[in-house]
Amino acid sequence: DAMVIQNPRYQVTQFGKPVTLSCSQTLNHNVMYWYQQKSSQAPKLLFHYYDKDFNNEADTPDNFQSRRPNTSFCFLDIRSPGLGDAAMYLCATSRALGNNEQFFGPGTRLTVL
Amino acid sequence: AQKVTQAQTEISVVEKEDVTLDCVYETRDTTYYLFWYKQPPSGELVFLIRRNSFDEQNEISGRYSWNFQKSTSSFNFTITASQVVDSAVYFCALSNYNTDKLIFGTGTRLQVFP
């Protein structure tokens, strides 16, 4: 089945230690998104890629970076995780820009010690 | 400013009851899209419906129905004859025509007890 895959499902890192979260998709969608969802809160968009074009949300901290080496993969890099970065990170894809349905992965729950 | 309000933080019902989840939105744009997503305990957000601002027709899909009323800026979601598997957090979201950014409400946690 075509899907959005996130690895790992659970990630534990230490305060200040860089961490990378992975997302892959078999849908061949052009757009990939990263959302941050803190406990009992709504998901919040961090950034998205339309093909290779990167679009950062204005309030996304510089500590968060992203890479998209090819259509299928997208990575979220947190350069120096703080305790406040502990959250669920959701990857999503859509076929194109323009309010298309977004397909979400199962998320990676990040714990910062 | 764009905003989505889901005033019901948590709702508990017994199986087979009908339940309505409320969603009120704010936007100055005339063209926009509204969405409902379900987030079960497993974590992924599951798309339920997308509605554009020019289509006020109500929609029914099995036990699910949606009531879109522009006059009250509401897009409410009703589950008929609820089941335990409906237990999840439900998010209403808004997106404007020229952006793919989803503005989510804070979600409503639905618990359906047997």
Nearest to A105 among B44, B52, B104 (CB): B44
pLDDT at A99 over 70: no
- Reply yes or no on whether the pLDDT at A62 is more than 90: yes
CB within 8 Å of B109: residues ≥ 6 apart: B9, B10, B11, B88, B89
* pLDDT tens, residue by residue, B25-41: 999 988 899 999 999 98
CB pair distance less than 8 Å for A88 and B102: no
Neighbours of A21 (CB within 10 A): 20
Radius of gyration for the alpha carbons in chain A, expressed in angstroms and rounded: 13
> Which phi-psi region, left, alpha or beta, contains residue A17 (left: φ > 0; alpha: ψ -120 to 50)?
beta
Residue B25 CB: number of other CB atoms within 10 A? 21
Q: Do A92 and B105 touch (CB under 8 A)?
A: no
Q: Nearest Cα to A36, choosing from A77, A90, A74, A73?
A: A90
Q: What is the pLDDT of residue A91?
A: 96
Q: Report the length, in residues, of chain B.
A: 114
Cα A80 vs. chain centroid, distance in angstroms?
Answer: 16
Task: Please tell me which residue of chain A has the smallest CA distance to B41.
Answer: A106
Nearest beta carbon to residue B42 from set A40, A92, A106: A106
Measured CA distances, B84 to A8, A106, B9, B60, B106 (Å): 29, 21, 18, 20, 22
B31 Cβ under 8 Å from any chain A Cβ: no
Pairing of strands B46-52, B3-5: unpaired
Q: Compute the mean pLDDT over every residue in chain A, rounded to the nearest whole number.
A: 93
Size of interface A-B (CB pairs under 8 A): 53
